[in-house]
Structure 1
Amino acid sequence: MRDDHPSDDLTAVERRLHQWANALLADAPADGARAKLVEFLVFGAKQAWACVFGAAMLVLIMAARLWYPDDAALARNDFLVITAVAIQVTMIATKLETGRELIVIIMFHVVGTAMELFKTDVGSWEYPGEGALHLGAVPLYTGFMYAAVGSYLVRVYRLSDLRFDRYPPRWITSVLAVLIYANFFTHHYVYDLRWFLVAAVLALYAPTVMHFRVFRGVHRMPVLVAFVGVAFFIWVAENIGTASGAWLYPTQVDDWHLVSLNKMVSWFLLMIISVVMVTWVDKPRPPER
């Protein structure tokens, strides 16, 4: 949240927060341990703000699990759908989210729901509970869980003014994303190509370095490290979701346990699909020289 942040990329609420943060941190030291602590705290604050949609969805799912009555006239799953829509509408109406983010969220809804319909049909996982707001065996709130990933990516893109060195051509990343998405379906019938796809991702993105602004400094990170980090936190959120009973894998129906760490490979590959979709809305920009 530095003074030269491109304010045109921020919503009205974020501009006010940006001004307040700069006033609060005006006397922060420019170097030393305290300066590094400030950078770290501001980084955490930006990440938390980027996750606001996903965090709201997790809180909603957990609250419904803990306090929503089983005998209510409105089914729990339908309550989750209606409340998720209300959260989305509120964020747009209060300008906490931009129209560009809404485009990405709709894209994620479509891609995610199509996968959910297939995966529940082949028994990869299931959604307990009844309700009218379903497509097949898939409650409609599930699309918002995929949308939460898209919301985070597009929000962190502008909040941190992301720039990229040696970003691969978008058409190549798009071909790879299509292959990854297809493999989520075809591996049930033919050979699973996920490890070949992981190798392709590593080879394609290995040279790419991400530049991101925090407060006073511009920092650099290999983009693959960021992909793995986000995949890990999605895995953590998945464990919260299954613990709440929002959905369950077959092995968790009788005895809940942590989702296998192997699932992170799927989330890592899903990250590539997510990133490619975001880059078609926000073209990757090179660092300022």
Structure 2
Amino acid sequence: MTTWTDRIGIPSRFVFGCLQFLRFGWLEVVSCLFPGFLFAGLAISKYVDLPIARYDALLIYCLGLTLLFWVVRLETWREVAVIFGFHLVGLGLELFKVRVGSWQYPGDAVTKFAGVPLFAGFMYAAVGSYLCQAWRRFDLRVSNYRPILTTVFAVLIYANFFTHQWIPDLRIPIALGLLVVLRRTWVFFTVGVRRYRMPLALSFALIGFFLWIAENFGTFLDAWNYPDQVSVWRLVHPAKFGAWSLLVSMSFVLVASVKSLEGRLYHRGGTATVEISPQHGHANQADM
């Protein structure tokens, strides 16, 4: 069948691909609502004089965002619980890293403990929020996922962020082990009326890359500083990209545990591109 795009020399498949790319981009944007609002808060609090300490204001702001997302049903109570769990996981890492001098938080605050503002955990919680939103909007499912082994390696990755201060850094062998565990694991996602898949390990790397970009914005806004950024801002070392890619595995394990309870974890079948139900297609397009 010849379409008007074919008649003017533009293949309809090319047009469809462009539309799918735009749909994908839009769904990613709306999945990043919490991180987006968080960075808006960082920017405003940097350039606007506040009646209370910046980190105290950011904590109140993030708590309000979390409550708002639950009230308007952007996130379920289970998702809020897992996001809070990742907040605690991140806060534990922050307390240790600040203590050993890996980075610092400039400025004082009432809600600052051992050099770490309590709002800092919400930067990790934002990753969990993104995963929960993306899971719903893209109708994510996984195949050949090995939850126990993946959880073991995620815990090892998290532990290595602490232990490498006293023993050799084992992130490379642990990362290779995780790649072996995930070698046959695919994540399936829906865009418009089509369903696609990609290796789960690749999705970790892509998310890690964008988290590295986000970290550059965060340090530019003086939310925190690395030692080489105290006197003048400079790009965060690219090695942090790998660290974020590994840490994503922990957030994925937490979110996947909730989705397993909801019966929304595993993909049935191995087809990479399949048509979806009209009902879901309308729901997906409604986000446009």
TM (normalized to structure 2)? 0.85
Matched residue, 1:137? 115
- Identity in percent: 40
Q: Which of the residues 40, 59, 63 maps onto 1:59?
A: 40
Q: Which of the residues 194, 201, 223 maps onto 1:246?
A: 223
Matched residue, 1:156? 134
Q: Which of the residues 265, 268, 283 maps onto 2:245?
A: 268
Cα deviation for residue 65 of structure 1 reads 1.0
Cα deviation for residue 37 of structure 1 reads 2.1
For residues 105 and 48 of structure 1, the distance between their equivalents in structure 2, rounded to whole angstroms, comes to 19
Matched residue, 1:189? 166
Tell me if 1:83 matches 2:61: yes
Cα deviation for residue 288 of structure 1 reads 4.6
For residues 179 and 87 of structure 1, the distance between their equivalents in structure 2, rounded to whole angstroms, comes to 31
Cα deviation for residue 278 of structure 1 reads 1.2
Give the counterpart letter for 2:34 in structure 1: F
Give the counterpart letter for 1:225 in structure 2: L
Q: 1:86-118 CA deviation, whole Å, 9 max, x = no partner?
A: 111122122222222201111111101111111
Q: Aligned-pair RMSD on alpha carbons?
A: 1.6
For residues 278 and 86 of structure 1, the distance between their equivalents in structure 2, rounded to whole angstroms, comes to 22
Cα deviation for residue 184 of structure 1 reads 0.7
Q: Is the 8 A contact 1:150 1:278 kept in 2?
A: yes
What does residue range 1-289 of structure 1 map to in structure 2 within 5 Å? 32-67=13-48, 69=49, 72-167=50-145, 169-283=146-260, 284-288=265-269
For residues 93 and 277 of structure 1, the distance between their equivalents in structure 2, rounded to whole angstroms, comes to 22
Moved more, 87-96 or 267-276: 87-96
Q: Is the 8 A contact 2:205 2:242 kept in 1?
A: no
For residues 140 and 196 of structure 1, the distance between their equivalents in structure 2, rounded to whole angstroms, comes to 32
Q: 1:106-163 CA deviation, whole Å, 9 max, x = no partner?
A: 1111101111111111111100011101222111111110000001112111211112
Cα deviation for residue 221 of structure 1 reads 1.2
Q: Is the 8 A contact 1:211 1:287 kept in 2?
A: no
For residues 255 and 186 of structure 1, the distance between their equivalents in structure 2, rounded to whole angstroms, comes to 30
For residues 64 and 187 of structure 2, the distance between their equivalents in structure 1, rounded to whole angstroms, comes to 34
Q: Is the 8 A contact 1:128 1:245 kept in 2?
A: yes
Cα deviation for residue 32 of structure 1 reads 2.4
Q: Aligned with 1:164: secondary structure?
A: strand
Q: Is the 8 A contact 1:39 1:216 kept in 2?
A: no
TM (normalized to structure 1)? 0.85
Q: Structure 2 stretches of 5 or more lacking a match?
A: 1-11, 271-288
For residues 44 and 183 of structure 2, the distance between their equivalents in structure 1, rounded to whole angstroms, comes to 41
Q: Aligned with 1:32: secondary structure?
A: helix
Q: 1:200-221 CA deviation, whole Å, 9 max, x = no partner?
A: 1211112212211110111121
Give the counterpart letter for 1:285 in structure 2: Y
Q: Aligned with 2:109: secondary structure?
A: coil
Q: Is the 8 A contact 1:101 1:155 kept in 2?
A: no
Q: 1:188-242 CA deviation, whole Å, 9 max, x = no partner?
A: 1111101111111211112212211110111121222211110000000000000
Give the counterpart letter for 2:40 in structure 1: V
